[in-house]
Structure 1
Amino acid sequence: GLVKQYQEGQKELAKMASQFTPEYPPYQKEAAELESIKGRIRAQAMTLLHAQQGQSEALSAELASLDKELADLKAQAIHLAEGSSQSLAMGSGVDALQKYLTLLNEKIQELDVAGKVLASRVSIVNPAVAPDVPYSPRKVRTTLFAFLLGLMMSAGIIAAVQVLDKRIKDPDAIERKMGIPLVGLIPFYSKEDQWLVVEAFQALRTSIHYASDHRRKNILLIASPSSGEGKSSVAANLGIIAAKAGERVLLIDCDLRKSTLHQFFTLDPKRGLSDLLAAPEMNAKEFILETSSKGLSLLPAGPTPLNPPALFSMTRFHDLLEWARKEYDWVFVDTPPLLAITDGSLIAEHVDLVLLVAAVKITQEPLLERALEMMQRLNKEVAGVVLNRFDWRAPDYYHYYYGKYHAKHYHYYGGNPAAPTVLDRAASTARKMTRRAIGQRKGAPRGPVV
């Protein structure tokens, strides 16, 4: 065959290659014949391959056809098996139903006989009557239950609010919880109740007088933990009351960021404390203004400087307070809020006493405690706390401070010619607060509160 011819041609070509060069004509002829045989062998191989592929595809198609026929036969066999089992099941089901129907008929007959026997023995004792009112809903019971539930929920909410609300509401809590004396109560007032404010500040002045050891400590810092608690108002009114008592009082507005003291006296200063501290060569008297109250002077804050704490750290500020100590009976220093900025703690280093101002339902107890701790760390003596803006008409406050006095004198307020004057009432309250202050001083140690 062609394969054998190809093998013999390869041997012959190899023999010629060992004797001749590839350019030798017989060698080239033999190589061409060998290549021709190789091409015919390749063509025959491709023909056989295509024939083999055709046979394989035919066999695959025949196998698929046989598989389909087998599947159809299996499906028919399963269908026949199910049909026979259903027929058997239906037959047995019909027999069971027939037996159950027979049993039911027997039970019906038995019940019919028993009912006839019982009917002959039953009689109506009381006929049924429709109720006049509905059984449900029971409105009275439901309303009462809802009322009690609402009452308990309201009590719980009120108790939770009282626990979470840390604002000062009880004057006794200041002395009981913080161990610091309450030296004054400043009430809300109307035009008819102005005498209350006079009495309150008279009592406060008396308490401060004894706390200062009869004015030996006459530089008083009036401060509050935060803003909006009325410290400037307390400073101004306390200064007015002290001046009316014949004392020389100097108010110094050290709140260089938000000064308000000059507004109480309708003054419009062009310069003040900040200018004085920035110009050591100036005389302090040139910056002090006289108010409408005789004996009461004011050193206003002046323009806001770039760095207020730096001014209060100067020796000039200490020298100013020492000069004022000798020139005046009282020096009341109004400061910014203690916990807001550092000015208050710097100013406190140069004073003798500290008076803390708190407002009812405004000041938070934790903030007042922090302010007290700040003064104690500075080793400053705290004269006490003034509780501002309390409602003296409320039952608790009324009986706490003014109850006995008001009950004693209330019948005079209708225009009786013999009614006591404001000064009489102020003196009465001042005497009571004096006795209270003396008692506190006897039980308290001298020196700073620690």
Structure 2
Amino acid sequence: MPSDLSISSKAGLAFSEPEDFCSHSRRDMELRDVLQILQRRKFIVLLLFVLGIVLGGASGLFAAREFSSTATVEVNKQQENALGLRDLSGNSSASATIDDLNNDLLTQQAVIMSDNIAMRVIEKLRLYKYPPYLSLMNGDDAKLGQAPLRDDKLLRMFKSRLNVSLVKGTRLIEITYRDPDPVRSSQVANAIVDSYMTDYTQSRFQASTKASSWLATQLADLKNKVAESQTKVEKYQQESGLVGMSMTGHPGDAGLMTSANSIPVERLIELNHDLTSAEVSRIAKEAVYRTTQTQDPDAVLGSKSSTLAQSLGADTVLSPGNPDVALLQQLRQQQGQLQVQIVAAASKYGERNPILIRLHDQETAQAEQIQTEMGRIRAQAKNDFTMASLATSAIRGRIAAQEQQVQNISAKSDQLLLLQQEANSNRNLYQDLYTKLQEATVAAGINASKVTPVDPGRVPVQPSSLRELTRLEMGGALGLICGLLSACLWDYSDESISTPAQIAEVTSIRMLGVIPDFPSKRKPLPTNGARMSIGAATSPNAWLVHAPQSHISEAYRGLRTALLVSKRDTTATVVAVLSGAPQEGKSSTCFNTASAFAIQGNRVLYVDADMRRPFEGRIVDWPERKGLSDYLSGSVPLTEAIHRSADVDSLSILPAGAIPKNPAELIGSLRFRQMLDQLRKQYDYVFLDSPPLLLVADGQMLSLYADGYLLVLRAGKTTKSALRSSLSVLENSRARPLGVVLNGMNTRVVGYPMYRNDKKGSNYYGETPQFQA
């Protein structure tokens, strides 16, 4: 096997062996591949980029001007006690957690966005008389609340223009409203704050005064008891003759200094003290029980921090350590979170959305669980009240027995002391409860002022719509993103082959050469009135004849070199140049490759075997096209069918001849195979220009008769599926591959600068300018 690159008539072309084939594995995409995609699809990227800028500018011209006004409120911390005097001093709860504060803020946010406040603001400012709400009225004169469908549309439009947001890291809530009128936008923002504060004040005040109203009733009864007990003291003093005398001892003392038998009296005093404490406990527990009967969880949770409840300490159902109260508070917080989610889902999905229905079902279940816990707490409160009543009755019974004993010792004096103690106890109890009632009344008003306005909504000066420059930037950015995505999607869905790397993804046959793109329709050579020589190439696509120094001619020389320097285990004299479909540059590649071999002095024959659509008549000037079909039909001998080229001495041409009726039968005839055997002896290389492989059977038979085939692909036209089909046909015919040629590749594709010859290229080849289309 020769070791040099010398070309001789006995040298052959190597066909590819399987071990030299490229890998079928698909390599990972690199940045170079992305740049190649953008280079190939740059026009769609630029088009969408410009279109985005135009649409962004147009949106600024047709968009309605709207103004936004923002009001800010502060939510104060929740106080632990009943907001008595210590609350007035500014002491706040130290046990409130961050989660409690966040839940409280979310609850207030949901309340501000509630339908109740929205309808109140719409009715107060008569927004339905102004655009854009006016378009929803349609002449309907019904009052708000009487047309549910219309009211629902009004609420949706109102909430679409309302934005209630929490300022991160603070207890501030920002309320922003958009409206075409700047003055009305500020009025609506401030009206929402006023309506929210009024609603919050009323609800809190009513919840706080429910227990106070019952305590007022109890105070009236205590006042009557104080009067009755004082009347009993005065009457007994008159009956016993002790008028004007005051017995020794105070409600907090334990003895009588004037009594010789002071122990029974001290015991009686202690029992009266116990009765007072039991009576206070009973009244407090009865107040708690009455509060639980209201079925209002907010009132129950608010009563747990009241002064009256705190006076009982842990001896009450509302004590902080009670798990039922803690569970009720947790359920109430969860209910607030569900209300926030319902409001958000209602504005986002609509009333019939399954998500909103599920949230309503969860809210109903949550309310039922709250009522269950309320029933459990009410039962506990009732048990506490019953036990306190029984304890009070028991103490009264013991007092009665002690009174009998004391009466036996000192009936008159001790009886007077007893009446005085009872009167003092009732008076002290009345004064204590009256003080607590006054503090609770003040606390109800202070509790109602939990929300404080920070910044009212001011009339905006400039519209809140985007600036023109911002619209252009957003339009350009969106257009650029759409362009990049479109380019990638287009390239991903495009099966056409444009680069050698894409060929390697389909087949392992070696890549022999790349022919740069050039205009498919080129100007014919100028004759200047003179007749050209017979057999001279007339087509400007005969590059090695008319532009031997061009970069395209050099590409064909590179193809010739690649064929010669390949590893040669078996020689190939007859080469079939194939393509899967028409217009893929097969004939130009075949003729120029044959010319490249002939220029080196080899005896080369170009055979136009495409008898259905001959090529030689479009590239060589023949007065009479006697050729292959005439020889195979027996009309002329082979020597008369073969013609010498007028441009290259060692190049001979066998034209297709007259178009026959049965080209496939002529190609498959014994006479054709005998002709190839004869041509192998006369020429160093025979190049067969084949018909399209996927359209007719001629190409498959030529690949079988030839010593090897060269498959030509057209960049941007040949698809991967067509390449696979062509390879499948050739594999079935057991044809021997020499390699693949990529014809008409875009030399501006990123990553392949070696094939370029433009203003930024080297201009190394010095092309003749007469062939520029």
TM-score, length-normalised on structure 2?
A: 0.35
Q: For the structure 1 residues 329 and 130, does the alpha-carbon distance in structure 2 shift closer, same or farther, using more than 3 Å as the test?
A: same
1:291 matches 2:645: yes
Deviation at 1:390, TM superposition (A): 1.5
User: Residues 397 and 211 (structure 1 numbering): CA distance in 2 closer, same or farther, change over 3 Å?
Assistant: same
**Residue 224, structure 1, aligned to residue 579, structure 2:** yes
1:213 is matched with which residue? Answer: 568
Maintained 8 Å contact 2:645/2:652: yes
| 1:173 aligns to 2:502 (yes or no) | yes
C-alpha distance in 2 between matches for 1:193 and 1:133: 71
Q: Is 1:247 paired with 2:602? A: yes
Query: In the alignment, is the contact (CA less than 8 A) between 1:189 and 1:196 conserved in 2?
Result: no
Counterpart residue identity of residue 694, structure 2:
L
| Counterparts of 1:127 and 1:345, CA distance in 2 | 86
Report the CA distance shift for 1:212/1:316 in structure 2 as closer, same or farther (over 3 A).
Answer: farther
State the match for 1:12 in structure 2.
Answer: none
Q: Say if 2:497 and 2:715, in contact at 8 Å, map to a contact too.
A: yes
Q: Which residue of 1 aligns with 2:370?
A: none
Matches within 5 A, 1:302-317: 302-317=657-672
Question: After superposition, where does 1:142-153 map in structure 2 within 5 Å?
Answer: 142-153=471-482
Aligned equivalents of 1:286, 1:333: Cα separation in 2: 18
The 8 Å contact of residues 506 and 720 in structure 2, kept in 1 or not, is answered as no
Closer, same or farther: CA 278–362 of 1 in aligned 2, 3 Å: same
2:726 corresponds to? 371
Query: In 2, distance between residues paired with 1:254 and 1:271?
Result: 13
Q: Give the AA of the match of 2:481.
A: M
Q: Quick one: which of 465, 478, 485 aligns to 1:156?
A: 485
Task: State the SS of the aligned residue for 1:395.
Answer: coil
- Once the two structures are TM-superposed, the CA of residue 391 in structure 1 deviates from its matched residue by 2.7
Unaligned runs of 5+ in 2: 1-453, 520-545, 768-773
Q: 1:310 to 1:363 in 2, by over 3 A?
A: same
Residue aligning to 2:703: 348
Give the 3 Å change call, closer, same or farther, for CA 392–135 of structure 1 in structure 2: closer
Aligned partners of 2:632, 2:456: CA distance in 1, in Å? 107
Q: Distance in 1 between matches of 2:552 and 2:472?
A: 49
Q: Which residue of structure 1 lines up, in the alignment, with residue 228 of structure 2?
A: none
Once residues 248 and 214 of structure 1 are traced to their aligned partners in structure 2, the CA distance between those partners, rounded to angstroms, is 22
CA contact (8 A) 2:550 2:766 kept: no
> CA shift at 1:212, angstroms?
8.3
1:259 maps to what in 2? 614
**Identical aligned pairs, as a percentage?**
30
Q: 2:605 touches 2:653 (CA, 8 Å); kept in 1?
A: yes
Q: CA deviation at 1:189?
A: 5.0
Against the structure 1 CA distance between its residues 158 and 421, is the aligned structure 2 distance closer, same or farther, given a 3 Å change threshold? closer
1:133 to 1:298, Cα distance in 2 relative to 1, 3 A:
same
How far apart are residue 385 of structure 1 and its match?
A: 0.8
Contact 2:574 2:687 in 1 (8 A): yes
Does residue 188 (structure 1) correspond to residue 543 (structure 2)? The answer is no
After superposition, the Cα gap between the structure-2 partners of 1:298 and 1:165, relative to the gap in structure 1 and judged at 3 Å, is same
Partner of 1:329: 684
Residue 301 of structure 1: aligned partner: 656
Using a 3 Å threshold, how does the CA distance of structure 1 residues 134 and 299 change in structure 2: closer, same or farther? same
Q: Is there any run of 5+ residues in structure 1 with no aligned partner, and where?
A: 1-124, 414-419, 423-450
Distance 2:499 2:712 in 1: 15
- Distance, in Å, in 2 between the alignment partners of 1:184 and 1:387 is 6
Residue 388 of structure 1 deviates from its aligned partner by 0.7
CA distance in 2, matches of 1:128, 1:364: 65
Indicate how the Cα distance of structure 1 residues 318 and 231 shifts in structure 2: closer, same or farther if over 3 A, else same: same
Distance 1:181 1:242 in 2: 20
Which structure has more relative contact order (CA 8 Å, sep 6+)? It is 2
Q: Tell whether the 8 Å contact from 1:262 to 1:268 is kept in structure 2 after alignment.
A: no
Asked if structure 1 preserves the Cα contact closer than 8 Å seen for 2:708 and 2:736, the reply is: yes
8 Å contact from structure 1 (residues 355, 385) kept in 2: yes
Q: Does the CA contact (< 8 Å) of 2:499 and 2:745 recur in 1?
A: no
Match of 1:398 in 2: 753
User: 2:466 and 2:707 mapped to 1: Cα distance?
Assistant: 74
Q: 1:300 to 1:188 in 2, by over 3 A?
A: same
d(CA) in 2 for partners of 1:300 and 1:129?
Answer: 91
Amino acid of the structure 2 residue aligned with 1:344: G
| CA displacement at 1:177 relative to structure 2 | 2.9
User: Is 1:269–1:300's contact at 8 Å kept on the other side of the alignment?
Assistant: no
Letter in 2 for 1:180: I
Cα displacement (A) at 1:154: 2.1
Contact 1:209 1:215 in 2 (8 A): no
RMSD: 3.2
Are the structure 2 counterparts of residues 197 and 214 from structure 1 closer, same or farther at C-alpha, using a change threshold of 3 Å? farther
* AA in 2 matched with 1:183: L
Tell me whether 379-388 or 150-159 shows the greater mean CA deviation. Answer: 150-159
Contact conserved, 1:256 with 1:305, CA < 8 A, in 2? yes
The TM-score normalised by the length of structure 1 is 0.58
Work out whether residues 211 and 383 of structure 1, in 8 Å CA contact, stay in contact via their aligned partners in 2: no
Structure number having the greater helix percentage: 1
- Cα deviation 1:118-162 (Å, max 9, x = unaligned): xxxxxxx99987544222355454444433333332222222211
Return the alpha-carbon distance in structure 2 between the equivalents of residues 170 and 129 of structure 1: 63
Task: Look up the equivalent residue of 1:169 and give its one-letter code.
Answer: S
Amino acid at match of 1:284: L
CA distance in 1, matches of 2:734, 2:566: 16
1:152 maps to a residue whose letter is: I
Equivalence for 2:557: 202
Contact kept? 2:496, 2:719, Cα under 8 Å: yes
Q: Give the residue type in structure 2 aligned to 1:147.
A: G
